[in-house]
Chains A and B, each alone.
Chain A
Amino acid sequence: MTGQEKNKKSGGLLSNPAVQSILAALLCIVIGLLVGYIALLIINPGGATNAIITILKNYFTYPSKQAAMKYLGNTLVKAAPLLMCALSIQFCYQAGLFNIGAAGQYVAGAGAALFCALQLKLAWPVCLLAALIAGGVFGIIVGILKSYLNVNEVISGIMLNWIGLYTVNMLLSGVKETASPYTVQIASVNKSALLPSLGMEKLFTNNKYVTIAIPLAVIIAIVLKIVLSMTVFGYEIKATGIAKDAAKYSGMKEKKNIILTLFIGGALAGLGAAFLFLTGYEQWSVTQSSVPGMGFNGIAATFLGGLDPIGTIFASYFIQHITSGGSYLDKNIYPSQISDFISAIIIYLCGFVLFFKLYLNSYLSRRQERDKNKTVASTNKEEGGNK
């Protein structure tokens, strides 16, 4: 009897959707790492075990605590924009929109933030706002094309990624260093555009790139969680995502909602770019000919996070953790892109999550049925004995 109760309880835990999402994410990570490990073994069997440990350890490879904290700071600096891109994709996905244009919205945000900071010499709040608007406008274009002209948002998003890249390259070529293709250091021309740190750099062994961007990104994730689960707007977005026609029939303005969703998505990605570039951690190269991977990695983080803003926080950190970890590999033996490879495998596996959940649920319900039959049979027997 107690055994049966325990079974039911564990079945109850397993049938909890949040637990299932976490389980599925962990499974994706394990299989992804395993495939990555196999790839490392094929490239060079000798150091493969060390290499995968290096990727997982990331900044822990530094023996001193100070150095580890400093490089943890660096990972967080890059995790913040990744989280913003992931939130952008996650938010739009709730409305049934696959915002692959987040990469381009990120680029637009970077362009706007750097242009305001370097060319117009404005203070950081204005730069943030400019990035938000630039990303949002890119989102709105996709939204209008989608809702009024029925253009697939994935294709228009990709086109805008490239248009954005070349536009930003043109826009920023006026503020680049004379000897290199990189934009000038913000710290050297306009210190007021750097995001404030509010003393946080002390925690990370004076890592000056650690700024308010990191807590802000986390706060935005929590706000989005509240908006999605507790407001009418969030409900309408989810309703539009699940059944567009039903949402329209029940009086929701589905066209307006699509455009607004993509504006918010674009604004999030644009803001994410400002969160990185306004720290001075990275400079924009005006000759780059491929769209930055941040927006695409955001897809990995979104789906690994189980399409939940809070889950996305942890998933973004994890993706950035292994991406940064990849850079510690010995470049003369292993390519650092092995981390991208692992992330890509993880996204591919995330495609199976739905299937995994379906399978798990049908297994659980079958087991429950069987247990029920058993108890019914045993009680029948007892009754028979009594007679």
Chain B
Amino acid sequence: MVLLLQYTLLFASVLILVALGGCFSEHSGVINLGLEGIMVMGALGGALTLKYISPNTPALVIVLAVLFASIICGVVYSTLLAVACINLKADQTLVGTALNMLAAAAATVIVKSINIAENPDNVSSTVQYVQTKKALVVSIGSFQFNWFMLVALILLICAYVILYKTKFGLRLMACGEHPQAADSVGINVYKMRWAGVLISGMLAGIGGIVYITAGVSEWKFEVGVAGFGFLSLAVMIFGQWKPLNIGLAALLFGFFRALSNVYSGFDFLAALNIPGSVYNMMPYIISLVVLAFTSANSRAPKAEGIPYDKGSR
């Protein structure tokens, strides 16, 4: 039971972070379908930091260094989306998809090259961080508290305050609803959209490292992040683009994802003898059902997905 709670909170943290990323980007008017790819890049930055940092470093330093590396990787990678979608007015769906594929390929190439350089016979795409990963968790009884849970909670509150209580947040949302109107009162729409995308890069980058350190101490980069970027988008839509609703939606989805990790530990679930694949499918089926019921009256930002052109009305 404790294990289920622990994994639920962990996966919910990932979903909260990444969904908030999507939320910032979409409120500024850019659909970020590249979240999955940004997660992979953030995960790569964090994992390499964990690999190379000395296990004797104080735990706090390790946590901060990992966070910093993931944020940098996520933000840098998201500039590719920003340049293409905001300045060059490219198709946002296409660019997002390209970023997902690029991240998977690039991360595999980078990790493999590092592994090969260390040992020519090691052609795997796995990064190990057994020792340093221990710095990320604190055991409270049998519950393993992960610092990233706290980070997710803090950022959730920050997101709420920034979006609804600050000038910046309200302006950002104006750019996603009616960019022409925002422009007419002197808001730089391009700058605001850049800000939205970069923030989403930052949050998705953190989400990536949280995902790959959840429960395991090594990661095979060939598998990417298993559609979590898209699950987060489903969470965002279910949460109606509002931070607090996103938090609740993430808990629900996190629960079903956690179930597939720990179902064998419950006697009555194990007794049902349902194949593991069914549990693996659960989060995706749930999100499909949820999307079917919530998309019809969606409160998506009105101008999302449409490149802003100063000249058009």
Residues of A within 8 A of B (CB): 39, 43, 98, 100, 145, 149-152, 154-156, 158-163, 166-167, 169-170, 289-290, 296, 299-300, 303, 331-335, 337-338, 340-341, 343-345, 347-348, 350-352, 354-355
Contacts and interface: CB of A to CB of B under 8 A. Distances in A.
A335 B295 contact: no
Contacts of A296: 97, 101
Contacts of B224: 290
A107 to B, nearest CB: 13
B288 interface: yes
A332 B123 CA distance: 7
B296 interface: yes
Contacts of B215: none
Contact of B226 (A162, A341, A347, A351): A162
Given A151-B291, A155-B230, A344-B105, A163 B285 contact: yes
B262 interface: no
Majority DSSP secondary structure for residues of B touching A? helix
Max count, chain B CB within 10 A of own CB: residue among A155, A160, A299: A155
A340 B291 contact: no
A213 B50 CA distance: 48
A347 B97 contact: yes
Contacts of A167: 277, 281
B170 interface: no
Max count, chain A CB within 10 A of own CB: residue among B33, B230, B275, B278: B230
Contacts of A98: 93-94, 97
A335 B113 contact: yes
Contacts of B200: none
Given A332-B121, A340-B101, A350-B98, A159 B295 contact: no
Nearest to A290: B223
Interface stretch (B59-67, B84-92, B151-159, B187-195): B84-92
Interface residues of B, number: 52
B182 interface: no
A308 to B, nearest CB: 16
Contacts of A344: 98, 101-102, 104-106
A341 B108 CA distance: 9
A83 B226 CA distance: 25
B292 A348 contact: no
B123 A158 contact: no
Contacts of A351: 84, 88, 90-91, 94-95, 98
A327 to B, nearest CB: 13
A354 B85 CA distance: 12
A335 B102 contact: no
Contacts of B80: 348
Given A163-B284, A296-B101, A340-B105, A355 B94 contact: no
A348 B91 contact: no
Contacts of B166: none
Contacts of B217: none
